[in-house]
Amino acid sequence: MKRVAFITGATSGFGRAAALRFAEAGWSLVLCGRREERLKQLEEELAATTAVHCVVLDVRDADAVNQAVSALPGAFKRVHALINNAGLALAAKPAQQAVLQDWHTMIDTNVTGLVNVTHALLPTLIETGQGATIVNIGSIAGHWPYPGSHVYGASKAFVKQFSYKLRCDLLGTGVRVTDLAPGIAETEFTLVRTGGDQAASDALYSTTTPLSATDIAEQMLYIATLPAHININRLEVMPTRQAWSAFAIDRDP
């Protein structure tokens, strides 16, 4: 039986790249996302390569998540890798200028959505046992603060700590958990964060060499295919051309 990867947020960015990479490696796929048309396009693209089961799903809806997991067809029920990728950043301005609804949306997606999917699939992953893997997509923002990261960074700090706590509780089950924390990567991420400002998105990635979605998908597959006795607790990945900056200091004129 083929190994099965359950990927959330599969319609773009890291999730779509993960679908392509895991399919190339011979995995069967459960692909989840909110955009039905994109899911259908991805399914058609991968149908000749591997078995694909698509689910139009908003991870914020716990009942819908539970129903989707319960309704998995037989060939997809034994999940070997959960890729908790669904997430977003909004409100790139300072906290005092942020819209409260944007904060709620980030919390509901990045925290509640991740918790919903993880809780629904834990019994399946534990049943799979040795080598089963949870990859939670965090961010360097969950560890390193920077202006404008407020709730987004806090939500990714939750991802990091939730991953660590899961490791503690899953000890002895054979299920592995990794917080995969990318740095700057060129995807639709910034376009979403800036409310569709293409110029702002282009400016962020121009004149440097950011990570690509494919780079991160490669790390996901690496983590999921390690020997069963190895667990990477946290993998922070930045492009060579990105590093940390000095502390900001407020000075008198």
Catalytically active residues are 152
Question: At which residue do the structure tokens 């667990």 appear?
Answer: 231
- The answer to whether residues 144 and 181 touch, using CB atoms and an 8 Å cutoff, is no
The neighbour count for residue 103, using CB atoms within 10 Å, is 18
Q: At 136, is the secondary structure helix, strand, or coil?
A: strand
- Residue 201: φ, ψ to 5°: -65, -45
Q: What is the CA radius of gyration of the chain?
A: 18
Nearest to 82 by CA among 116, 125, 26: 125
Enumerate the β-bridge partners of residue 28: 4
What are the residue ranges of helices labelled H in 25-76?
36-46, 62-70
For residue 178, give both structure tokens.
């990794």
d(CA 233, CA 57): 28
Question: At which residue do the structure tokens 């800036």 appear?
Answer: 194
- The answer to whether residues 2 and 12 touch, using CB atoms and an 8 Å cutoff, is no
